[in-house]
Structure 1
Amino acid sequence: MSQLSIAALAVGAVSFLGLCAGLRDAWFLGLLSLTCMLAGADAAYQEREAWAITFLSLGALLALAAVSAAYRDRVRERR
């Protein structure tokens, strides 16, 4: 198992533990995005193009969802 895979698993575990501990949605989605990006980098390094594209695309969507969640939290705080 490569170091990128271990890092992705560690970040994924931290994100789920944080979710159980009440971590905000923006942080949870951001950590999941980082997990997908690390997994995508590992897949690209191992020349698994389909997996790399899938993980990197999912990571980008999760990053967009994290930004959206952070914006929604900011709007709620202002009201």
Structure 2
Amino acid sequence: MSTLAWIATAVAMLAVLGLGFNLPDHWFCGLLALAAVLGAADAAYREQRGWALGLLALAVLFSGGGLHAALRPGRERGPR
């Protein structure tokens, strides 16, 4: 396993572990997007085009989810 793959796995495990410590949604999605980009870089280096494109598409989805979570209004609402 290459260094990039180890780093991507560690970042993904950190994101999942953060769920146990109430990690905010935008951080969770951001860390998973970073892990997907690192995995895509590793796949591109190994010339695995399908995996690289799939992981890049996954990174775009997680980036969009993180952006949505960061910009949406909070769940806390005052009295009506």
**TM-score, length-scaled by structure 1:** 0.91
Q: Distance in 2 between matches of 1:5 and 1:76?
A: 35
Paired residues for 1:1-79 under 5 Å: 1-72=1-72, 75-76=73-74
Give the aligned CA root-mean-square deviation in angstroms: 1.5
> Any stretches of 5+ residues in structure 2 without a counterpart?
none
Number of aligned residue pairs: give it. Answer: 77
**Identical residues among aligned pairs (%):** 43
**TM-score, length-scaled by structure 2:** 0.90
Q: Distance in 1 between matches of 2:30 and 2:54?
A: 17
> Any stretches of 5+ residues in structure 1 without a counterpart?
none
Residue type of the alignment partner of 1:15:
A
Residue type of the alignment partner of 2:35:
T
Residue type of the alignment partner of 2:74:
R
Higher-Rg member (1/2) = 2
As a proportion of its length, which structure holds more helix?
1
Residue type of the alignment partner of 1:76:
G
CA deviation map 1:33-76 (0-9, x unaligned): 0010000000000000000000011101100110000011xx22
Q: Distance in 1 between matches of 2:20 and 2:32?
A: 14
4+ residue runs of structure 1 moved beyond 3 angstroms?
none
Q: Distance in 2 between matches of 1:14 and 1:26?
A: 14
Q: Distance in 1 between matches of 2:74 and 2:53?
A: 35
